[in-house]
Structure 1
Amino acid sequence: MYNIVIVEDELIESESLRRIVSESVGNSIVHEASTGKKAIQLIDKLDQIDMMLVDINIPLPNGNQVIEYLRTKSASTKVIVTTANDDFDLVRSMLNLKVDDYLLKPVKKSTLTDAIRKTLDVSDVDIVASRALKQTVGTMIERCDYPQWHNFLFDALDNTCAATPSAISQRKILTDVLELMHQHLISWGEKGQPAAKTVTALIQEISQSGISASTYYRIMSRLLSIGETVFDHALKHFTGSMSFIDRAKFHIEKNILDNLTLDDIAARSFVSSCYLSRAFKKMTGAGFSNYIAGRKINVAKSLLQCSDLRINTIALELSWQDANYFCRIFKKETGMAPSDFRKIVAPVPA
């Protein structure tokens, strides 16, 4: 996910740039500043700016001064300058500030698109993958598909922890997912700010340090909490029809680390316990208790593979007070004891 800042004082021009950037780089968050002062405020506010498009002739401080200030904060931010002034001295000063491209207005859409993609090294394959990821995440939230979200989330988490050459690219996928969640939370206004700040901190930590065995459970717990916030909001605004079975599954996922009872889930699904129990087996092919055990065991597998938590601690975190009972359930579901599973799947240190 890219943080891109547009510094342009003409509203029509700014809107055009935003549209071109969004089309050129699908996985981007676009910020806009109509003055040099607002641009500097964004530089101070944002943890990372991947690219800045700057019109030199903006109200003071001018574009040149904005870039000078940017360079005191970041040497890696890509900069594309747009101006109607074809002045050699100006071009030379831009080179001294490590500007990546210099475009004379009016700029053709195709020229600007090529410049943006070249500057950020974005390919058509990246754009397609970004759009697909955005649609996948958006569809799960829109449909309140909490079980599928957890399947998707744990796959992303576990792939990031794998001791393979692809772990770095998998880390990028996870942070892109978090950026999409951040955008979703920001769209709520003040209500989404606390969770959005947590997401920002996680993105920074995962980008810089990855996910280790010692940090996996903490990061996983925060992601589960963020998911709860997002899907609670999605459920309140859900306009489709949700069966009581899907509602039951929703609340199972929401409370996946807790001690779940048939009575509690039935009450939240607006049906009787007996009716839910019979219908759940008929509709899903799995008994209510077996379904919950299976969902919890999926979480346990990730914790055994990627975290350094002891087996009895994992049992407690999943609300099984008896570690021996957890081991029996785990062996029933997987065919092996938790300790044997861990030996097989735990990543080998690089």
Structure 2
Amino acid sequence: MFDVVIVEDEELERRALRKILEEKHDGVRVVGEARNGAEAVRLIETTHIDLMLVDIRIPRPNGLEIIQIIRDRGLPTRVIILTAYDHFDIMKEAIHLKADNFLLKPIRTAELLSAVTACIGDAAPRQEQEARKATDEFARLADENRYRDCLSMARSHLQDIFGTEGAPLHRAVRDLFDALTDSLQSRGLEVTPELAGSIRHLLDQNLDIQSHFQVQELAFQVVDQLFQVKGQGGARTSDHVQDVLNFIERNLHKRVTLEGAANFAHISPCYLSRLFRKEMDATFVSYIREQRITRAKELLGGSDLPIGNVALDLSFSDANYFCKAFKKEVGLSPTEYRRKLKDPKARLAN
């Protein structure tokens, strides 16, 4: 199913376009309408859009400016231009902006359906291939019993989804859960009714950057089921340290303590402390600190998440404490570290 947005200032035109698509094309669904450019920009920022039908003469930003915004953000949205003017200059600009089609008003039903079908036909194989790739990768990691790598992959997807300012969230989050649940089904497993209900409830909400932690927890719960994990600890093995490493990876966004990890592994904190140091050549506390700083570096370098959100994602009590801890370990504040990564000259100088 492909998500369509209609951008048209004439209400009767919008209604007619929606009616045609909803009654005569079963491959699309209209997920939004905009009467002007400002409303269209809000939809771009909050909604996944596979295809946009946009009138050139809407109140500013006009249709061509809306297409420019889509292209500047690198979004894969297909665009069909609607206009009552068969002007060479408009067509030239539309070609420059890589519009997918150009329909003259009054728009005939057959022409509209043909243009929409052509856009869907071009985009479908690519989207299906991307979805299949994610599903297969989750299933492969599960087959190889690589629990921590599977968590890392889910976290990486979430970083891409929530880490880019202005990126549409709802469809991307839905696609992630589809990939995870499809991986479950490929192994003959099903999401529990309770978790499925939680996911449906989540997807019924308006998602924003603050939804990151809720989405991550539910995604991790699906990964747990993919590995048929009991509780929240990760793939069960006879090796206590491996159990604890899985526990840490699974709960790094929470406050991980020696006592909590020991309780999970069903051993005493004292015994875990000695065992962990022997096998990992590091204390439990220093390992946690190292993992949090490593994760912080990934978030700072690979996303636009605010510093406060990075701190929350790593269970620091507040942003100031996180900044002090980060600078103590790295020698730079989080802001300085992010700036250095994004400045090629600074990287070359080092």
TM-score of the aligned structures, taking structure 2 as reference length: 0.51
Correspondence for 1:191 among 187, 190, 194: 194
**Within 2, Cα distance between the matches of 1:129 and 1:290?**
38
Give the superposition deviation at 1:270.
1.7
Does the 8 Å contact 1:257/1:319 carry over to 2?
A: yes
Distance in 2 between residues matched to 1:286 and 1:190, nearest whole Å: 41
Which residue among 239, 246, 265 is the counterpart of 1:269? 265
The 2-side partners of 1:139 and 1:232 are apart by 15
**Contact 2:174–2:203 (8 Å) recurs in 1:** no
The answer (yes or no) to whether the contact 2:180–2:223 under 8 Å persists in 1 is: no
For structure 1, the 5+ residue unaligned runs are: 5-47, 50-65, 78-93, 102-114, 206-214
Aligned to 1:300: 296
- Taking a change above 3 Å as real, the CA distance of residues 197 and 344 of structure 1, as seen in their structure-2 partners, is farther
- Root-mean-square deviation (CA, aligned residues, Å) is 5.0
**Helix, strand or coil for the counterpart of 2:216?**
helix
Amino-acid identity (%): 20
SS at match of 1:300: helix
Q: Which residue of 1 aligns with 2:221?
A: 229
Q: Distance in 2 between matches of 1:97 and 1:338?
A: 50
Please list every run of 5 or more consecutive structure 2 residues that lacks an aligned counterpart in the other structure. 5-21, 32-49, 52-108, 344-350
C-alpha deviation, 1:119, in angstroms:
2.4
Q: Is the 8 A contact 2:25 2:113 kept in 1?
A: no
Cα distance in 1, alignment partners of residues 211 and 243 from structure 2: 26
The 2-side partners of 1:308 and 1:343 are apart by 13
Are 2:243 and 1:247 aligned? Answer: yes
Following TM superposition, by how much is the alpha carbon of 1:266 offset from its aligned partner in structure 2, in angstroms?
0.9
Matches of 1:71 and 1:277, distance apart in 2:
57
**1:173-221 alpha-carbon deviations (Å, 9 max, x no partner):** 776433213546893352232232156358x85xxxxxxxxx43x2320
Partner of 2:121: 119
1:177 aligns with 2:169: no
Letter in 2 for 1:152: M
Shift in Å, 1:252: 1.9
CA distances 1:237-291 after superposition (whole Å, capped 9, x unpaired): 9997453222212222333233322122011012232332233234334431122
Distance 2:311 2:179 in 1: 32
Change beyond 3 A, Cα 1:180–1:116: farther
Q: Could you list the per-position Cα deviations for residues 139-185 of structure 1 after superposition, in whole angstroms to 9, with x for gaps in the alignment?
A: 44566645323432343344456779xx9799987764332135468
Q: 1:220 is matched by which residue type in structure 2?
A: H
Distance between the aligned counterparts of 2:273 and 2:331, measured in 1?
Answer: 26
Task: Tell me how many residue pairs correspond in the alignment.
Answer: 244
Deviating more after overlay: 152-161 vs 264-273: 152-161
2:239 and 2:257 mapped to 1: Cα distance? 19
Kindly provide the CA deviation profile for residues 6-38 of structure 1, in whole angstroms up to 9, marking residues without a partner as x. xxxxxxxxxxxxxxxxxxxxxxxxxxxxxxxxx
Aligned counterparts of 2:277 and 2:193: Cα–Cα separation in 1: 42
Quick check: 2:229–2:236 contact (8 Å CA) kept in 1? no
Q: 2:211 aligns with which of 213, 219, 228?
A: 219
